[in-house]
Structure 1
């Protein structure tokens, strides 16, 4: 069996002390670039593998975080992860990704397993149906945690997410300004904070304009062919003239439905989505969408978690990323 390469061997090969080689492994600023390069070259030549686990035990940190998401198949969460990765890679942190699949019991089991693996903290998008008890359990496990995109409490816990209510209000206001008077919301099941805040922004803005505000059509978001009662409503004697959809993927389904029936989105019927997924800029017609900036949310969530890991605090920080409206062809309004 080949003998394991030790740090002493690396130091001898590089012509430095073992202490200096150890400083290089710990990214110490006390080592010159030339010395650092020599040590790294020696490690590569000898095939040295740094035992980070043992080092972490000494330092009481593992250099890992848990990333608990509710739907890893969604392209929206891919954008969120890009933002998180941009921050943690510079901090030499590795994320362990798990998928709760919108199941609170599975979510709790996963969080406990992540704690067993010694993660330093959590970024959590709570599964639908999560309660305040989840935050109490995470606190009991002594895990710094940042909720992202959804929150289980209005007051407790760190949170980073879009201003859903404001974004939805911008969409409704734009439609009203361009003559739409009967506006529906598609995908409105208030099963978590993000959905409730979108619906709140929708209702309040329509009330402000003294327009009908109860055209809310529930759908199963995991089934993009489910348009709920939208087809029947569209075929009624008093159909809506616009729809704000829960997300871009659902809005794309609506536009496909309209096109298949000879109706041009934007000209015959206004459609607005949410999340500004990349494909929304190249669809036909191009999709007007509420910008929720998942990459920016991910960056802010990662920065906040790293701060909480280094500086534990009992006070909660809540960061809302301002909503914007990306106006394109599907809403029929004037392009910017």
Structure 2
């Protein structure tokens, strides 16, 4: 018994013939062009649905040299701060008709380089980057040569003409430290953080507040660590040996680890020791006790970064766009 030939796939030519229009008209309709009259567009879509035609948008983008994919490269997805940024920017980008492709570098510059090359090969329409520690300041110029619009988030890469969305780290820590000083604390620690411009900015705010109240900085109270829970736990254990009565943490995740160390010692933040975090992630209001923190509105930061990228895609000649989130000190039970 002879075998039947496989069914021929339905093509754009078949849709054009069934709708009695040209191939270019079908293409315009399937790309949601406003140039085609509504009744013609409806006829084309009905013909495509009847024939079972499936539009390969990716193939069309490759033919046209464009893409509807935005690459988002995050340095530390284990930190909920970055996840909240991602939620904000994804909401903005999806509403604009883009698909978000996310990658995590885990603070590895070599991995970041591989990810960026892959995004370039995939023809990403734009790039949003939270740079890993050690990212060279030349990266924005390199990506510009690729012809890909980019917005840098959270960590500045130094002077340049690239678009940037971040927060006023120095001001936020200055206000938090001043709050503790005005509450009577004089031995205030700074916990967490290892390197980078963000740490430098936050330490600058910490030292400026001490200077404003004529308190000499004590290196023994500034303890570096990875900016995670384990780092917060370890640095708090070390700080408790110095007779400190309060601490500013590099971020909220470090503060959560510090809370655990206090609890293990039978101490309660707010009653026995004053503790302040940074970022105001969602869990901060629901920790035990609720964590005082510097709110830099991560969701809004993500939305601004996405808006900058959309603007840059639409008009590459725009002047440099910069958003610096104004910090808000959220006083809760821990301080």
Q: Same fold (TM over 0.5)?
A: yes
Following superposition, the deviation at residue 200 of structure 1 comes to 1.5
**Aligned 8 A contact 2:229 2:257 in 1:** no
**Aligned 8 A contact 2:236 2:261 in 1:** no
The residue aligned with 1:221 is 227
Following superposition, the deviation at residue 178 of structure 1 comes to 2.1
Question: What aligned pairs does 1:161-180 form with structure 2 within 5 A after superposition?
Answer: 161-180=166-185
Q: 1:106 aligns with which of 90, 108, 111?
A: 111
Q: 1:92 aligns with which of 91, 97, 107?
A: 97
Q: 2:253 aligns with which of 249, 255, 260?
A: 249
SS of structure 1 residue aligned to 2:334: helix
**Aligned 8 A contact 1:224 1:249 in 2:** no
CA distance in structure 2 between the aligned counterparts of 1:193 and 1:38, rounded to whole angstroms: 57
**Aligned 8 A contact 1:63 1:119 in 2:** yes
Query: What does the per-residue CA deviation read over 1:182-225, in whole Å, with 9 as the maximum and x for residues that have no partner?
Result: 21110132x22222211111111221121233431101224625
SS of structure 2 residue aligned to 1:65: strand
- Could you tell me which runs of 5 or more consecutive residues in structure 2 were left unpaired when the two chains were aligned: 1-5
Following superposition, the deviation at residue 253 of structure 1 comes to 1.4
**Aligned 8 A contact 2:19 2:44 in 1:** yes
The residue aligned with 2:286 is 282
Following superposition, the deviation at residue 27 of structure 1 comes to 2.2
CA distance in structure 2 between the aligned counterparts of 1:184 and 1:13, rounded to whole angstroms: 74
The residue aligned with 1:329 is 333
Say if 1:81 and 1:188 are closer, same or farther in 2 by CA, change over 3 A: closer
Say if 1:136 and 1:30 are closer, same or farther in 2 by CA, change over 3 A: closer
SS of structure 2 residue aligned to 1:224: helix
Say if 1:47 and 1:167 are closer, same or farther in 2 by CA, change over 3 A: farther
Q: Which structure has the larger Rg over C-alpha atoms? A: 2
RMSD: 2.6
Q: 2:236 aligns with which of 226, 230, 236?
A: 230
Say if 1:229 and 1:293 are closer, same or farther in 2 by CA, change over 3 A: closer
Following superposition, the deviation at residue 233 of structure 1 comes to 3.1
SS of structure 2 residue aligned to 1:235: helix
Which moves more between the two structures, 222-231 or 50-59? Answer: 222-231
Following superposition, the deviation at residue 155 of structure 1 comes to 3.7
The residue aligned with 1:142 is 147
Following superposition, the deviation at residue 43 of structure 1 comes to 4.6
Following superposition, the deviation at residue 57 of structure 1 comes to 3.8
**Aligned 8 A contact 1:62 1:118 in 2:** yes
SS of structure 2 residue aligned to 1:89: helix
The residue aligned with 2:132 is 127
SS of structure 1 residue aligned to 2:100: strand
**Aligned 8 A contact 2:29 2:36 in 1:** yes
Following superposition, the deviation at residue 269 of structure 1 comes to 0.7
Query: What does the per-residue CA deviation read over 1:256-289, in whole Å, with 9 as the maximum and x for residues that have no partner?
Result: 2112222111111111111212121111111111
Following superposition, the deviation at residue 3 of structure 1 comes to 2.6
> Where do 4+ consecutive residues of structure 1 move more than 4 Å?
8-21, 30-46
